[in-house]
Structure 1
Amino acid sequence: MRAAKIIGTGAYLPGDPVPFDEIQRYLGDIPEAPKRVRQWIDNMTSVMKDMLAMENYYYAFDSKTREFTDDNVTMSVKAAKMALDAAGLKPSDIDLICYGSAQQNQMPPASVRIQEALGIEDCAEFSICSNCTSAYKSLFIASELIKTGYAKRALVISSNMISPAMMPEYYNQPKLNRETVFMRWFLCDGAAAIVVSGYDADKPGLVVEGNYLESIGCRRESIMHDNRPARPMSPLVEYETAAHHVQQSFRNALHSGTFQDASGKSVMFAGMKRMIAKLSLTLGDIRFMQINLPSKQITEILLEEILEIGIPRSALYTKLNKLGYCGPPMAFMCIDQIMRHENLKNNEKILSFVTEVSKFMQAGYLLRAEGYSN
């Protein structure tokens, strides 16, 4: 079986960085929202600033003109071209595209639109809609197909353009609630891509040593959702009922029953332990531990649990404070940061794990540096 190795990465953040204190102004005022919601935003801003500890956000639209500057496809293509350039490859060298995003409602899907924009005449492709686990699942499919020899080189891409769903023009403002406007504080736009190859063993990169997937939401309440049914609905009814509003419950603490497993630990920690056992992972080789969570407070709580199993605090790797949090692409953005800016040595490992809260899907991967000098 061939090895699957990440040999090129790219990340794209649209527009200029927007500081935390400018988020509400940049996205646009919501004067028709209920008074209690507007007052709540004013009262909670300083609390959220401390809890999230993110300095910059990126949005794919111009705040003054209200014109969009990118979309999921254009951002993906820009990130993909960077990854191809870093790998020293052309689009024609790719025979598989795996694209993952939080949600998709287009026909044809984004994967073939990206293929068309890159000018790839013939390739296999997947479009995966699975919230923050979609990037991990895209890597899983690509690496497994490369290992079996079905594909030679894969372009694995994730993007998230959430800003349109947080603008005043999108909302039915009188029906806004706290759970919907809460989203404005921690989500922004961006895309990232990686090139995974089974035919470039001579190039330095990150070997995909293991993947992990699970879903544990059967008896857990959805924490992030909209209220659309599992069928098309009248756009007018959708707007009038505010079914299109994306919302996330923030009132559940990490230590509530929804976030805990039977042992009293967080579901993310319990999932990580299952992954470590399944992959027979030696923790001493881990240099970087990626946790893709948009909250400093929750990350710190989880880190206390992680320290119990032997992963040192120094291994924690996150760039959310500078890059913002754009959901699924963050996994690949961190890989991009590591490959471009860290002095990797052979056999150092990167462990990443994520819990998404729309229905508690969890995923992870293990990467090993190869082809670097020690």
Structure 2
Amino acid sequence: MSLNEVYITNTSLFLPNEPVPNDDMELYLGYINGKPSKSKKIVLRNNGIKTRYYALEKGGKTTHTNAQMTAEAVRELFKDNPEKLKAIDLLSCGTSSPDQMMPSHGVMVHGWLPEAEAIEVVSPSGVCCAGMHAFKYAYLAVKSGDAVNAVAAGSERFSASLRANNFDEEAHKLEELNKNPYISFDKEFLRWMLSDGASAFHLTNKPNDEGLSLRIDWIEGVSYANEMETCMYMACEKQADGTIKSYLEFTPEEIMTKSILSIKQDIGLLSDNIVPLGGRKLKKIFEREGLTINDIDYFLPHMSSEFFRPKIYEIMSVFEDYIPYERWFVNLTTLGNVGAASAYFMVHELFKSGKLKKGEKLLVLVPESSRFSYMYALLTVC
């Protein structure tokens, strides 16, 4: 059976509301226990983010669900010809912040698209790699001929879980016990890192008749969970031996007073491992594909923080060469860390920038710290 070439023929982006500058973050997320954060300035100084987007009004009222934002991104793909939305035969949606545990995120997105037909819908779970898993599923479906017009999407709505009211019970409990009423850094750290939004790709087996397309040369992934313990986690608590205790094993009171449902990060484990492990698989892929650093015209690494920029640069030493910063394309500073959507955001902005020329190659790298997974993709402008 011959396999199809697969092309990204359009990309889209949906950002909720207006950009939120650093000084205004707590006007949206709130003050935990009524007190300004002690760690906010330190985290922001290191991550380099200047603005981000929240699906919230000031005061914390929700303006959009994750599913609604994703549906708007899908709709945006076909704004010039809305009838084409009826032709899609696969919807593949990745996120780490679904609005509910059940039904799946993908079918909720489909529910906000009444103009679409009855189609196959998939919802890969995970963290930052979830959007890339959705992308790969759509790619493989078109490549095999199982789908002709597929939509892949990545999205996040982290802001709902970052609001102060999710932590107030823990802070009050600490105060009652005459302890420091500030929540631990592993919980507060991510309040100043994460952003909301959605983005989507239209994938098909033919390039655009006019204008540019992106041919998908390959998408690959790897997990190191067999050798690494959990680093980023939610709805559970990490134990002293590195294992995870599920929220299902806590009492309702403990869930509130220990902020069990919050997103947490083992910062020490992250800093020591996230970058070195990312280079291991990439070197093997390059050797197999006969690629060198000089073949890459644009490098799109998903970074949670500008802190990792020089560290990612250094992992290129495994190739005995480096991708110079002038060939990097990153929009973390203006859009924030949008997890499963970040790779989509970078590809979208570059695709719409007018900078691309036929024959150029884009290397996408997405690390996921949850238990150290990575996704890689090579796209060629055509």
Shared fold per TM-score greater than 0.5: yes
Aligned match for 1:285, one of 295, 315, 321: 295
Q: Which amino acid is 1:269 matched to?
A: G
Provide the rounded CA distance (Å) in 1 between the counterparts of 2:4 and 2:105: 28
Residue 94 of structure 2 is matched in structure 1 by 100
**What pairs up with 1:99-248 in 2 under 5 angstroms?**
99-104=93-98, 105-119=100-114, 120-171=116-167, 172-174=169-171, 176-200=183-207, 202-203=209-210, 204-228=212-236, 232=248, 235-248=252-265
Report the Cα offset of residue 259 of structure 1.
Answer: 4.2
Q: Is 1:312 the equivalent of 2:324? A: yes
TM-score by length of 2: 0.86
Report the Cα offset of residue 71 of structure 1.
Answer: 0.8
SS of 1:131 mapped into structure 2: coil
Q: 1:89 to 1:137 in 2, by over 3 A?
A: farther
Report the Cα offset of residue 309 of structure 1.
Answer: 3.2
Q: 1:49 to 1:32 in 2, by over 3 A?
A: closer
Q: Which amino acid is 1:205 matched to?
A: S
Q: 1:231 to 1:22 in 2, by over 3 A?
A: closer
Report if the CA contact (8 A) 2:97-2:158 is conserved.
Answer: no
Report if the CA contact (8 A) 2:75-2:82 is conserved.
Answer: no
Aligned match for 1:354, one of 358, 366, 380: 366
Residue 12 of structure 2 is matched in structure 1 by 10
Report the Cα offset of residue 230 of structure 1.
Answer: 5.3
Report if the CA contact (8 A) 1:100-1:158 is conserved.
Answer: yes
Report the Cα offset of residue 87 of structure 1.
Answer: 8.0
**What pairs up with 1:317-336 in 2 under 5 angstroms?**
317-336=329-348
Report if the CA contact (8 A) 2:222-2:374 is conserved.
Answer: yes
SS of 1:128 mapped into structure 2: coil
**What pairs up with 1:59-98 in 2 under 5 angstroms?**
59-64=54-59, 66-85=60-79, 90-98=84-92
Provide the rounded CA distance (Å) in 1 between the counterparts of 2:368 and 2:266: 13
SS of 1:303 mapped into structure 2: helix
Count, aligned residues: 355
- For residues 261-320 of structure 1, the C-alpha deviation after alignment (integer angstroms, 9 at most, x for no partner) is xxxxx1112232223234333433322101111211211221133264342321111011
Q: 1:199 to 1:236 in 2, by over 3 A?
A: farther
Report if the CA contact (8 A) 1:10-1:86 is conserved.
Answer: no
Provide the rounded CA distance (Å) in 1 between the counterparts of 2:83 and 2:375: 29
Report if the CA contact (8 A) 1:30-1:173 is conserved.
Answer: no
Q: Is 1:344 the equivalent of 2:356? A: yes
Unaligned runs of 5+ in 1: 261-265
Unaligned runs of 5+ in 2: 175-182, 237-244
Provide the rounded CA distance (Å) in 1 between the counterparts of 2:122 and 2:330: 28
SS of 1:183 mapped into structure 2: helix
Report if the CA contact (8 A) 1:269-1:305 is conserved.
Answer: yes
Q: Which amino acid is 1:207 matched to?
A: R
